[in-house]
Amino acid sequence: MSFIDRLDAIDRRWIFLMMACAVAIPIIVIGLTGARFPEVPGPTSTATFETIEALPEGAKVLFSFDFDPASAGELQPMANAFMRHLGQKKAKVYCQTLWASATPLIEETLKKCLLTQSPDLVYGVDYVNLGYQAGNEGVMKVISTDYKQSFPTDAKGTRTTAIPMMEGIENTSSFDLIMVVSAGYPGSKEWVQYVVSPTLGKGKPIQLVAGVTGVSAPQLVPYFPTQMQGMLAAIKGAAEYEYMVNEVIKAANPGKPLPPAYMEAQRRMAPQLFGHLLMVGLIIVGNTIFFVKRRQSRSGSAMKAAA
């Protein structure tokens, strides 16, 4: 068996091991050194940042956490950066989810990102956790006409009519911005189809920005920028946006160093880089094997024909 044949028939567990090293080693190195790569924000991340940056103080923002712990590795840094940016803008934050398993993620994000940054914020006045509601896109249709019908209480069981910041919230058009961090169904696509699209061309359009997994990003690109004013695609989008938000936070708190937690997306770009380089390397090796074998089989056929 030639080297090429052995390489072609390589046990896939070797590939798994290579990928594990490509991801784990940069994580360890970054953990020890704190190094990170500089970010150059792309157009969709910049549009996301600018849409949020344009919000006035006290703007009402609906934040839907439509993901689960499985995809939190990719999406939680986006949710964290969104929340910090909203805190910086002194926006009123209305959190909800259409994924049953996301409820604890809301609490954690509020505590970790909003309340550590602005401990004086008051529940029910500055922020609220409206919890989970079953029904997928059915909920979206209902809240488009009557928000409190789908969310009669918050996550703690308090009636929404008794929550001060819910006053004036009639439907999704009552919010200045809708933010969605989504992993699949129901997610950003359904928010565009059932909440944003019906309002297009009718008075004040609903503003939507979304953070999505890398795999679903190509599917959502057609909606940018008409139906979605901004989009963070995968951890790369999260890193670009986080970088811009951090610049704002640094400008607001001169001389104060940012804690490592503020750079979780940017720090993930190193494992991403080495993972991608490994993929490129594997594809090149795979194609080299393919061309060498094709050449061998052609020369073999030619020799047979000559004989």
Partner 1 sequence: MVSMIDSVLVSLTLAAQDAAGAGADGATAPAAAAESFFVSGRGALFGWLVVISVFVLVSIMKARAGKVFKVRPIAGLSAVDEAVGRATEMGRPVLFIPGIQDMDNVQTIAGLTILSRVGKTTADYDAHIEVPVSRSLVMTAGREALSASYLAAGRPDSFNEDQVYYVTDEQFGYTAYVSGLMVRKKPAACFYMGQFFAESLILAETGNSIGAIQIAGTAETSQLPFFVAACDYTLIGEEFFAASAYLSGEPDQMGSLRGQDLSKALVGAVLVLGVVVMTVGALAGGLVDLGSVSRFFQSLVGG
Partner 2 sequence: MSRQLAIIVTLVAGVLMVVSGFIKPTQGWGEDAAEWFNILAAMAFVLGAANLAKVHLSKISSRDAGWGFSAVTLLAFAVTLAVGLFKVGVNPMPAFPDVPMSGGKDAEGSAFWWVYTYVLSSITATMFSLLAFYVASAAFRAFRAKNTEATLLLVAAFIVLLGRTFAGVVLTGWIPADSDWAFLRFENLSTTIFEVFASAGNRAIIIGIALGVAATSLKIILGIDRSYMGSGD
Residues in contact with partner 1 by the rule CB under 8 A: 12, 68, 70-71, 183-185, 198, 200-202, 213, 215-216, 218-219
Distance, in Å, from the CA atom of 119 to the CA atom of 90, rounded to the nearest integer, reads 12
Q: Which is nearer to partner 2, 11 or 167 (CB)?
A: 11
| CB-nearer residue toward partner 1: 86 or 183 | 183
SS (H, E, C) the chain: CCHHHHHHCCCHHHHHHHHHHHHHHHHHHHHHHCCCCCCCCCHHHHHHHHHHHCCCCCCEEEEEEECCHHHHHHHHHHHHHHHHHHHHCCCEEEEEECCHHHHHHHHHHHHHHHHCCCCCCCECCCEEEEEECCCCHHHHHHHHHCHHHHCCECCCCCEHHHCHHHCCCCCHHHCCEEEEEECCCCCHHHHHHHHHHHHCCCCCCCCEEEEECCCCHHHHHHHCCCCCCEEEEHHHHHHHHHHHHHHHHHHHCCCCCCCHHHHHHHHCHHHHHHHHHHHHHHHHHHHHHHHHHHHHHHHHHHHHHHC
Q: Give the interface segment with partner 2, choosing from 91-99, 243-251, 277-285, 297-305 (CB under 8 A).
A: 277-285
Q: Using CB under 8 A, which of 156, 159, 295, 298 touches partner 2? A: 156
Measured CA distances, 41 to 48, 211, 247, 263 (Å): 11, 15, 12, 15
**Using CB distances below 5 to 8 A depending on partner kind, what does residue 185 bind out of partner 1, partner 2, none?**
partner 1
Interstrand relation of 127-132 and 92-97 (parallel, antiparallel or unpaired): parallel
For partner 1, the closer of residues 71 and 150 by Cβ is 71
The binder of partner 2 chosen from 27, 248, 249, 278 (CB under 8 A): 278
Instruction: Name which of partner 2, partner 1, none residue 34 binds, using a CB cut-off of 5 to 8 Å depending on partner kind.
Output: none
Asked if 37 is part of the footprint of partner 2 (rule: CB under 8 A), the reply reads yes
Q: How far is the CB of 284 from partner 2 (least distance, A)?
A: 9
> Is 297 near partner 2 (CB under 8 A)?
no
Nearer to partner 1, 49 or 191 (CB): 191
Question: Residues 179, 66: contact at Cβ < 8 Å?
Answer: no
Pick from partner 2, partner 1, none: which does 290 bind, CB < 5 to 8 A by kind?
partner 2
Q: In 3-state terms, what secondary structure has residue 133?
A: coil
Report which residue type is found at 113: C
> Which of partner 1, partner 2, none does residue 273 bind (CB under 5 to 8 Å by kind)?
partner 2
Determine if 68 is a binding residue for partner 2 (CB under 8 A): yes
Give Cα 82 distance to the centre of its chain.
9
Question: Which span sits near partner 2 by CB under 8 A: 49-57, 58-66, 253-261, 273-281?
Answer: 273-281
* Residue 300 beta carbon to partner 2: minimum distance, rounded to whole angstroms: 19
Closer to partner 2 by CB, 215 or 302: give it.
Answer: 215
Pull the structure tokens for residue 207: 């503003």
Residue 15 sits in the site that holds partner 2 (CB under 8 A): yes
Among 2, 219, 226, 299, binds partner 2 (CB under 8 A): 219
Q: Residue 34 interacts with partner 2 (CB under 8 A)? A: no
**Which residues are near partner 2 by CB under 8 A?**
10, 12, 15-16, 18-20, 23, 37-38, 40, 42-43, 68-73, 101, 103-104, 107, 134-135, 138, 141-142, 145, 155-158, 214, 217-219, 221-222, 233-234, 236, 269, 272-273, 275-280, 282-283, 285-287, 290-291
